[in-house]
């Protein structure tokens, strides 16, 4: 076996062991070393050179990045998740044309990514990712779960979103589901701000899906400091003053259009 490859494999074993021990610091250190070592292989993306050990190297590298993604979920580092996921992606999308066998973790990680996008409210990217998936992938429970969540989210069926936490296909999803609950709450808060001038504390609690008034009060204190609480009422400092829609300068527009037409006629 290639000495370089052997070194990486060895290091990777150490990494896995650290993971099992939940020793996050060691994990991060070893991972960083692993990544640097991986840059030495020309068979990996983006070069995809056809070296004798290509398959082996690709598989190993993919494994490392998959672990990296899972690690980032574990430590709740969304940036790291994004970074690692993007580096992992070419192994799924581009390497499939080579003899690399598909990974068992693939759909789980893709689903995680979708969930992340949903949590970060990056709906456009969410759909972009979705479009890139094959129809078989869409049938996969991990993906399906994310898609359904997105649908409920868009419909405003927030209760379904929250109840979906019970049906997660995989334990790693919990982290994002918790985050999603918070995203949902923010959405609701945003909506009620627009919809109501004020709400009674109990109504607000129900609305924002809190189980106790204390939780509500703490939430308001942390997230929505501009809300006021007076005599059992939550008063939204919504854009009451928001001016009515600006009037369309119709006459000016008509004039302009006409003069364009005239100019056009002159030019041709």
Partner 1 sequence: MAATMVSSAGALLAMLNESHPQLKQHALYNLNKFVDQFWPEISTSVPLIESLYEDEEFDRHQRQLAALVVSKVFCYLGDLNDSLSYALGAGSLLMSLRILIMFILFLMCLNFDHLRSVVDIFKFAGASLVCLTFLFLFLTSAKAIDEYASLKAKATESNAEAANVDPRLEAIVERMLDKCIMDGKHQQAMGIAIECRRLDKLEEAITRSDNVHGTLSYCINVSHAFVSRREYRCEVLHLLVNVYQKLPYPDYLSICQCLMFLDEPEGVASILEKLLRSENKDDVLLAFQIAFDLVENEHQAFLLNVRDRLSVPKSQSSEMVQPKSSDPDPAQNNSSTASEDVQMTEGTSASIAIVQETDPNDAIYAERLTKIKGILSGETSIQLTLQFLYSHNKSDLLILKTIKQSVEMRNSVCHSATIYANAIMHAGTTVDTFLRENLDWLSRATNWAKFSATAGLGVIHRGHLQQGRSLMRPYLPQGGSGGGGSPYSEGGALYALGLIHANHGKGIKQFLRDSLRSTNVERFIYDSAVAGEAAGISMGLLMVGSASEKASEMLTYAHETQHEKIIRGLALGIALTVYGREEEADTLIEQMTRDQDPILRYGGMYALALAYRGTANNKAIRQLLHFAVSDVSDDVRRTAVLALGFVLYSEPEQTPRIVSLLSESYNPHVRYGAALAVGISCAGTGLSEAISLLEPLTSDVVDFVRQGALIAMAMVMVQMNEAGDSRVGTFRRQLEKIILDKHEDTMSKMGAILASGILDAGGRNVTIRLLSKTKHDKVTAVVGLAVFSQFWYWYPLIYFISLSFSPTAFIGLNYDLKVPKFEFLSNAKPSLFEYPKPTTVPTTTSAVKLPTAVLSTSAKAKARAKKEAEQKANAEKAAGAESSSAATNTGKEKSSSEKDADSMQVDSQPEKKAGPEPSFEILTNPARVVPAQEKFIKFMEDSRYAPVKFVPSGFVLLRDLQPTEPEVLSLTDAPSSTVSPAGDSATGQQGSASAMAVDEEPQPPQPFEYTS
Q: Where along the sequence are the contacts to partner 1 (CB under 8 A)?
A: 32, 35-36, 39, 45-48, 50, 79, 82-90, 93-95, 97-99, 265-268
CB of 86 to partner 1, least distance (A): 3
Q: Are 44 and 61 in contact (CB under 8 A)?
A: yes
| DSSP bridge pairs for 137 | none
Pick the closer one to partner 1 by CB: 39 or 250. 39
CB of 223 to partner 1, least distance (A): 28
Q: Which two tokens stand for residue 13?
A: 């074993």
Element (H, E) at 233: strand 233-235
CB of 95 to partner 1, least distance (A): 7
Distance from C-alpha of 207 to C-alpha of 229, rounded to nearest angstrom: 16
Pick the closer one to partner 1 by CB: 34 or 208. 34
Residue 205: CB atoms within 10 A of its CB come to 20
Pick the closer one to partner 1 by CB: 93 or 214. 93
CB of 163 to partner 1, least distance (A): 34
Is the C-alpha dihedral spanning 50, 55, 57, 59 positive or negative? positive
CB of 263 to partner 1, least distance (A): 8
Strands 233-235 and 198-200: antiparallel
Pick the closer one to partner 1 by CB: 240 or 266. 266
Pick the closer one to partner 1 by CB: 88 or 184. 88
| DSSP bridge pairs for 199 | 234
Write down the residue that tokens 């990974």 correspond to: 103
Is the C-alpha dihedral spanning 168, 170, 176, 182 positive or negative? positive
CB of 83 to partner 1, least distance (A): 5
Q: Are 24 and 17 in contact (CB under 8 A)?
A: no
Q: Are 31 and 69 in contact (CB under 8 A)?
A: no
Pick the closer one to partner 1 by CB: 48 or 210. 48
């Amino acid at each position: 076996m290639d000495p370089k490859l052997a070194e990486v494999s060895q290091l990777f074993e150490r990494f896995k062991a650290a993971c099992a021990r939940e020793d996050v610091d060691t994990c991060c250190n070893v991972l960083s070393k692993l990544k640097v070592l991986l840059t030495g292989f020309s068979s990996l993306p983006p070069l995809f050179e056809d070296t004798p050990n290509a398959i082996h190297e690709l598989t190993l590298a993919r494994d490392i990045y998959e672990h990296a993604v899972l690690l980032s979920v574990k430590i709740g580092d969304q940036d790291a998740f994004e970074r690692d996921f993007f580096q992992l992606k070419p192994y799924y999308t581009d390497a499939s044309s080579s003899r690399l066998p598909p990974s068992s973790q693939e759909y789980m990680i893709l689903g995680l990514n979708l969930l992340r996008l949903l949590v970060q409210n990056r709906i456009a990217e969410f759909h972009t990712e979705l479009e890139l998936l094959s129809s078989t992938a869409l049938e996969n429970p991990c993906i399906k779960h994310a898609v359904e969540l997105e649908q409920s989210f868009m419909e405003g069926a927030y209760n379904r979103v929250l109840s979906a936490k019970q049906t997660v296909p995989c334990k790693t999803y919990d982290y994002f589901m918790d985050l999603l609950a918070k995203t949902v709450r923010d959405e609701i808060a945003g909506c009620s701000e627009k919809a109501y001038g004020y709400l009674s504390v109990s109504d607000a609690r129900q609305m924002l899906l809190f189980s106790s008034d204390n939780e509500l009060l703490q939430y308001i204190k942390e997230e929505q400091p501009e809300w006021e609480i007076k005599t059992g009422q939550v008063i939204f400092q919504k854009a009451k003053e928001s001016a009515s829609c600006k009037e369309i300068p119709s006459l000016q527009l008509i004039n302009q259009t006409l003069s364009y037409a005239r100019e056009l006629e002159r030019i041709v």
